[in-house]
Amino acid sequence: MGIQEISAGGVVYRGAGGGLEIQMIQDRYGVITLPKGKMEPGETIEETALREIVEETGIRGRIVQHLETVRYPYTSPEKGNVDKEVHYYLVEALGGELQAQLEEIRGVEWLPPHEAWNRQKESGYENNQSVLEKAFRALGLTTEEN
């Protein structure tokens, strides 16, 4: 058993209906992904998700619902075997200024849903696929190519 590490993040959206947009970030490796980060002492998992979204993208939001928990093991030189757990939420943007935290990520943008989906498929992490799919379903969007 490795040590457990908990992270949280989310699929952030704004607008409604035909004007709905999804936030996608590009990490420092150039991969399309979702904002997330490690839980700090004294925080709830939801607080972690919202704090990380503000820190990485500048956007304040509110949690709409839990989407999925992704689990995977990894090995780090400092900690050895780590069992990582990432909790993803659907988050509605309330305000703030879109701004990438440049130490952590390369860029952040608002995309129309089909564009966000295509980017995820072309250059996203595989374990984010179902997270995004669940977010689309919750928002009443289809993932069909449209």
* CATH number of the domain encompassing residue 98: 3.90.79.10
Residue 1 has pLDDT above 70, yes or no: no
Mean pLDDT value of segment 10-31: 93
pTM summary value = 0.92
Residue ranges making up the domain that contains 134: 3-138
Total domains, the chain: 1
- Does residue 144 belong to any structural domain of this protein? no
Instruction: Give the mean pLDDT of 96-101.
Output: 92
CA–CA distance, 126 with 140 (Å, rounded to integer): 22
Residue 101 inside a domain? The answer is: yes
Identify the pLDDT of residue 134.
Answer: 97
- 37 domain residue, yes or no: yes
The answer to the question of residue 143 being in a domain is no
User: Is the per-residue pLDDT at 146 higher than 70?
Assistant: no
- pLDDT at position 11 is 98
**Helix 113-123 vs helix 129-138: angle between axes, to the nearest 10 degrees?**
170
Average pLDDT over residues 2-9: 93
Residue 145 within a domain:
no
Tell me, yes or no, whether 16 lies in a domain.
Answer: yes
Helix (H, G, I), strand (E, B), or coil: what is residue 131? helix
Dihedral pair phi/psi, residue 28, rounded to 5°: -65, -15
